[in-house]
Every structure is written in C-alpha cells, then in structure tokens.
Structure 1
Amino acid sequence: MCGVREGLGEGVARWFEDNTRRIMGDGRDILFWHDIWVGEIPLKIKFPRLYELVEDKECSVADARRVIGPDRGWESLWRRRLLAWEEESVRECSVLLHNIVLQENVHDAWRWILDPIQSYTVRGAYRFLTTSGDALDMTLVDDVWQKHIPLKVSLFVWRLLRNRIPTKDNLERRRVILPIDTACISGCGEVETAKHLFLYCVIFGSL
C-alpha cells in the first residue's frame, strides 16, 4: 500500500495521493512533511531545503506543533543553524501554518476527492485508473507484437503507446525531477512529453 500511495507500479502516477486529502483533527495521524494537509502539495515538496535539514522527517503534525508551539521557535527542529535565506523559508512556512488549529477531541480523517460523499470504493478507483488518460486503440498495441519486428523495438513501441517511456513529464509525475526541469531536451522550450518528442518537436519530430 505504501508503494501504491507513492504512485509506483502500473497505472496513473501518484493516482492515490492526488485524489486523497487529510482532514485535520488532532494531528496525531497526519505526517507533517509527507502528507497533503495544508495547501495542494506536501510540505517536503514546497520546502525541500527545510525538509533536508529537519531532524525528524517522520513527525506528525501534533508532534511538530508541540515542538514549535505558539511561543516557541523552530530552532530545535534543525540539524544545524539556518542560513539567512533558509530562515526566509521558515517564515513563509510559518505564515502558511498560522491559522491551523488542532481539534484535540477529533481524530484525523481521509477524504477521497473523486467521491467525497460515498468515499473510497475499489470500483471507483478502478474506474478512475481504467479511464484516465488518452484513449488507446488496442489494435495498434496488438500489431507491435510481430515475429518479424525485433523484440526490443516491439517493447519500446508498446511502452510508447502506453506513455510509459521516461520522458520528462513522466519523470516529474514520479518525482524524479522537479517541475521546472520538464522542458524538452532539444531546447525548443516546450514540455517534453512523448507526443511532443516523437511528433511535434521541431528538432526531434522531424528526425
């Protein structure tokens, strides 16, 4: 389940994480740095430098609030004294957390965004995974498995038709690279997707 939650294996990258949100209660079951509980992305992605420097990367929201507190500083969280530009990230994070109030008598909960009323079902998740992305003509996929075509070519085309090759947009979805690094390697300025790279790129498309 941890692997699925990180978007590993077959299916749509980060499908589980992108479609769930943590609903704040007492903060004991929500991971401060890893879960999406404030804003649209985890704090470890929004503040990567702070995450790199923090001592306890697995702390809950409740643990972090006890350490920080309304009258305490952030100094005890870090492995070393912060530089001036790192302190600026701390101030930005503090503003983000300013209005967060823990509810001591309420447990943390999950919200399934695709169906917030009925909540998560296997049927709903299966429907999402099998209908996400562009429709694929299965006759094209079947045609690549021919004995006269070298196996490595068939395998590559099979992956290409399923958008499973490591183009930069796929690497960004898997968190291998940052969103700012998704530009096409040809230098044309467009986002590097499979369609762009093989069909529309002014450099590689013509090739």
Structure 2
Amino acid sequence: MNWVAWEKTIAPIEYGGLGFGSLKDANLAMLAKWWWRFKIEKDGLWRNLIWAIHHNNRSWTAIPAKVSMSGPWKQIMSIHDPLARRGIDLKKTMKTVMVNGSDTSFWLDGWMGEIPLNLRYPRLFSLERSKMCNVADRINPNVSGPRILWDWVRPISNDQENHELQDISALLSAISVSSGLDRLFLSSFNRSRPNRVFMWNNWTPKKVGIVAWRAEKIRLPTKEALARRRINIPNLSCILCGEYVESSDHLFVACHFAQTIWQNIASWCKIPPIVAFDIRALLDLHGFIQGSRKRKKALHAIVLIVIWCIWKTRNEAMFNNAQPHIVKVLEEVKSLGFFG
C-alpha cells in the first residue's frame, strides 16, 4: 500500500492535509496556554505562587522556571524545546502591545522588540531598584515628549553604563503612552504553504474526496505504484482496459474505460468534451467552465465522485472478479451526485 506521510495527513486542509489534527500538537497547545495565562493573570494567586517558588534573583525572566525542581510547572515549561525545533519560540511569539504601560513590564516584557530590555541593557538592569516595574512607572507622558523616571540603586558611574543609558534614552524618546489597555497577542506561525493545495468539497463524503486526494499525490496503490515498491505484481496491465500499465493517470484519465465515462459526464453536465492529460487537469476542470459558483462547485463534486466510482469499480474487478460496466458506473455517479 502506498502510504501518505503522517505530517501531510494531519496537516490542516488549507495546507493540503486531511485536517485530522495531532493529539501531540493539541497537548502542546494546551500546555502553551499556561504560558499565556502566566503573562496575563498577573494578580492571580497561582501565578504569584509560581513566581515565589521559581523566580531566581540571579536570572531574571518574564516566565521563571527552576530546572532542578520537578513538578507540573517544569513539564509546562519543558515544551519550549520541542516547539523551538518546529520553529516556534513561545517567548518571541507572545508579543506585547504597550498602550498605557500599566500591564507591561518595563524590563522583562518584549514590548520594544523581541529582546527584553533587561537583556539589551544588562548593566542598567543591575542598577534598577525595582526590577518588576511597569512601563507606566518609568515613562511619564508629557506635552514636550516622554519623561523618563529612573530609579537607580546608585548613580551611573562608568562609560559602559553611561553608553547604555544614552542608547536606551534615545530608544525611549519616540515612545508615546496613551489611554487604553495594554494587550498581549500571539504572532502567527509561518507554516510553509504548498504551491498547490487540494480542494475539498463539502458536497461529497470525505471518503470520496480522499481517493482523489491520494490520486493527486500519486499515493493510491495502483499496480505501477506497488511494483515501484518492489511488490511482485504478475500483470501490470490496467484491469479495466488491459492495454497499458495501471497508473493513477492512466486509470482515471487515459484509460478508454475512463475516457468514455468522462465524455458521458460532459454530455450529462452540458459542458464541452473533457480533454485532460493528468488528474490535476480533472480536478481543476470546474475552474474553466462558465456559470455560477454553485454550478462550478457541483461540477467539482461530480469529478470527485467519478474518480471514486472508477476506483471502486477497479477494486471490485480486481478482488471480486466483477465485470466493469460503464453504464453501471454512470448510474452510480448520477445517484451519488443527486443525493450528495
């Protein structure tokens, strides 16, 4: 049997998959929600408890975790690495939009880019008296521009500290604080979208569309496909016509049996004769006919049904020695097309 890669199978429909989803991904998403809750529920008792247990004064971070301490919080924080391997950095994905600055940590939140200010200006952060201060505590809106209210444990005393102060002052000079609430949002994950995505049709059962989906990906277990996987197939000829090697393109497009069906379908649908060279041309057929969106969708559904019926007829002939009949296939297509 020709298998489809599991990642492609569980991928969302808009990315060419079946949209089944992954239990592992769902679990990671639920655990990641606790990162989100830790950031927004700043007055929650549970959050304050986590902060008191896991916070380390030598290693400041917006979401603390002691690696040496086992328990549920360690499991929640451990999802960072598997997500990072997929190109998702939770810390950078959670973006803070500062409005009035009352709910945004001045030093620890990434409100001035992906890197928090405590990492960009470590010398100044070490001098900060109140390391948990908010933006509103340090920036005072003024008619002539923002006024920065620093609170150092001691005065600036060397060139490195003075350089950081000048740099951060220039950075903050363009900041405006206004009325409104700060917001936290998740930036989108840029999943690579295939150049071509299979179009599903909710007018047909899922099992009908899956046959066409696998056929387009050349993942149906035709005789040619099985032979490529070094499975011993005594006779590679198409069981419907007996003339050529049975491949997906031959079975659904080039086979005389299939071509006769398609021409009858064209007459039934009152469209020009169907001329196709591969399965993709059949699946794109509805986009080239005149008519309403509903008519195009109906034709697309019929194409999927025809492909399913041809595959079903092929299997009955292969495994049950049933005699393939064009009239029977056409009747089944019209029946399914009517009730679908």
Alignment TM-score, normalising by the size of structure 2: 0.30
Between structures 1 and 2, the one with greater helix share = 2
Alignment TM-score, normalising by the size of structure 1: 0.47
Q: Larger RCO: Structure 1 or Structure 2 (Cα < 8 Å, ≥ 6 residues apart)?
A: 1
Larger radius of gyration: 2
